[in-house]
Amino acid sequence: MRLLNLLQLEQVDDNLFRAENEPENGQRIFGGQVIAQALIASSRTLDGYRMHSCHAYFLRPGDNNKPVLLDVERVRDGRSFAMRRVVAIQNGQAIFNMDISFHIDEPGFQHSEPMPNVPTPQELRPDDEVAKALDGSDADPRLSPMAKLERPFEMRSVFQVGSVEWAENRSWSPVWIRYRGELDLSSNETPNLNAALLAYASDMGLVSTGFLPHQSITNRSKLQMASLDHSLWIYRDIPITKWLLFHKRTTTAANSRALVHADFFSEEGVLIATTTQEGLLRAREEN
C-alpha cells in the first residue's frame, strides 16, 4: 500500500474517519503518516481553505497492524481562518492529537531568508542507492533502519551516507527530497494533499538529527528515539513533485530531549515551509 492509498480515508461519520496502515513498515506507525492522515481528515470537513499550520503531540506508539480512528472537532469556521482538532485513536485510547489551522488565500507582504549554499540534487547520489551499496542498515549501526525501506520520497543527502563527513559530529543535516508519485494537479484538493505529503516528509529524520552532535560517542541502536511533538508552518505553494531542500538542524539537547528545526526550500531558493520537533533521545537500559 503506497502513501496516497494511506491517505484515502474511510468516512465513518460526519467527523469520524478510519485510516489504514502498512504492517510491512515495522511494528509502529510512522509519525509523519498519522500527521498526514489527520490533516486529510480535517481538510474533508471544510471547503476553500488551505492548511497553514499544525501543532501535534505523539501520546502513545501506534500499532501498524490495526487501523486508526481519526475524530475531528470543528473548533471554528471564520471568514479567513478555520480551526480543527484531531484525535487519533487505537484500542479506545488516544495515541496522537493535533490542532490544525486553515487559511484562505489572500495577498500580503513577502520575504524569505536565503537558502543555504549546498550542492544541487543533480550533484548528489540517491540515498537508497548508496545504502544498498553499503548493504543496507546492517553495514553501519549509525544507519537508520528506514534506509532499507522503500520511501515515497527520493532523498539525496548533502552528507553522503557512509562518508567520512556523514560520520562526523555535526548539528545540521541538509537533504534534497522529491515525491516519487504522480498527482492530479488540477484537483481542488491538491493544496491540502500536497500539504499532507509535506507533513509526512517533515517527520523524516528529525529525531536522528538531534543525535548527530553525539554520534561519535555511541550508535543509534543503543538509544530509544521517538518524536514527542511536532509543528509545521506552510507559507507558499508546495512543488512536492520537484526537488525541495529539507534543511534540518538541532539547537539544543538536555534531559533526554533534543530540539530540531528544519526549513523546506524550493530548488530556486524560496522558503516554502518550516517545521520544529522535540524528540526523545534516551539511552537504552543494558540487560
Q: Does domain 124-287 have CATH number 3.10.129.10?
A: yes
Average pLDDT, the chain: 89
* 108-127 mean pLDDT: 93
Fold exhibited by the domain 1-104: Thiol Ester Dehydrase; Chain A (3.10.129)
In one letter, which amino acid is 173?
A: S
Do 124-287 and 1-104 fall under one CATH topology? yes
pLDDT digit string, tens, across residues 173-190: 999 999 998 887 666 568
Q: Any idea where the domains of the chain sit in the sequence?
A: 1-104, 124-287
In this predicted model, what pLDDT tens digit does every residue of 136-166 receive, in sequence order?
444 555 555 555 566 899 999 998 766 656 6
